[in-house]
Homo-oligomer: A and B are copies of this chain.
Amino acid sequence: MMTSNSPPHLPEKTIAIDCMGGDIGPKVTISGINLYLHEQRKHGLGNDTNFVLCGDENAIITELKNFPDIAKISEVCHAEKIITNDTKPVAAVRMGRKSNIGVAVSAVAEGKADAVVSAGNTGAYMAISKVILKTISGIERPALAKTLPTIRGASLILDLGANTECSPQHLVQFALMGSAFASQVMEINSPSVGILNIGSEELKGNPTVQDALNLIKNIPEINLYGFVEGNDICSGTADVIVTDGFSGNIALKSIEGTAMLLKHAMKRSLSSTFIRKLGCLVAKKGFDDLKSFMDPRMYNGAPFLGLTKIAVKSHGGADAFSFSKAVGIAAKMVDSHLTDKTEEQLHLLDNK
């Protein structure tokens, strides 16, 4: 194990982890790393990955005693101040570089790590990342994005709440950032981009989405699908769905709430009699598949797009399995050289 005074260590891939992450703490985050590595090793991978573990040094070192394999590939960086779920956003931002989130984000800024993962307060994490990591030139605001399962596979939706009010130009930037992610990380060739609206006809909606549509029409690098509606998110009509953070947050949470309701309805309908329970037992493997598909933990990990470096937000209430998925997204983003590609694409536009 190395301490914070060791020289920066950067082998093939290093991920900085905010081990405190809201309230989940090193027990969950380090177990999450363990699950991530375990899953990678199943496929003969994961030997190229090191970690920078940030937060309360004593708590992290204590937890690492249970994971000697992780201790060997990790550097511990102590944070003087801890942002918890109770910390007010303003106070959290003020703690800045000295906080668990700040130390983890700084590790990336200083080149000690290639990506950062935190389950801490979204607003504080976004603000600290923006200040320390900066946005890519040409991008005014980072956006919170997420891949969601669809009937056709998976789509990316952004923004999910980082920017409650957006200009048409912001939506254009989201379209560029989303396209780069979909092609580099999701490996979709020429991903289609839809703008979320209340109708698919060009006359529908508000001036912001209409202006954004017209602006994107003039950018041949973006494969514009056109307007999409709420039901198109889960249909997979477009590979990337662009929206302001207010509508995006409401759409995402409406989807999550519907999944919860239907899980509840399934349980109610299918376990009310002995015969129904018996049928479900016979079809158990099918239900296991369905349960896994409907498990929100499978989709944990929302990247902040538009930053010069990679930052991934985990759900604040994540368990180890869920956190391992967020670590996986960060690792995949590093492997795909996403930020370089986004910059290249923006540079192409600038030179026109």
Tell me, yes or no, whether A91 is within 8 Å of chain B by CB.
no
Q: Can you show 27 pairs from A to B with CB atoms below 8 A apart? A: A150-B261, A151-B264, A161-B199, A164-B205, A206-B246, A229-B249, A230-B251, A230-B253, A230-B254, A234-B257, A234-B261, A235-B257, A235-B261, A246-B247, A247-B247, A254-B258, A258-B259, A258-B262, A265-B294, A269-B286, A273-B286, A276-B282, A276-B285, A276-B286, A278-B282, A279-B282, A279-B286
- With A230-B253, A230-B254, A251-B251 given, is the CB distance from A284 to B279 under 8 Å? yes
* Distance from A4 Cβ to chain B, minimum over Cβ atoms (Å): 35
Residues in B whose Cβ lies below 8 Å from that of A262: 258-259, 262, 294
* Distance from A236 Cβ to chain B, minimum over Cβ atoms (Å): 9
Residues in B whose Cβ lies below 8 Å from that of A233: 254, 257
| Contacts of A90-137 to chain B: CB distance below 8 A | none
Tell me, yes or no, whether A283 is within 8 Å of chain B by CB.
yes
* Copies of this chain per assembly: 2
**Chain B: which residue is nearest A285 at the CB level?**
B276
Residues in B whose Cβ lies below 8 Å from that of A278: 282-283
Whether B245 and A270, one on each chain, are in contact in the complex, defined by CB atoms closer than 8 angstroms, is: no
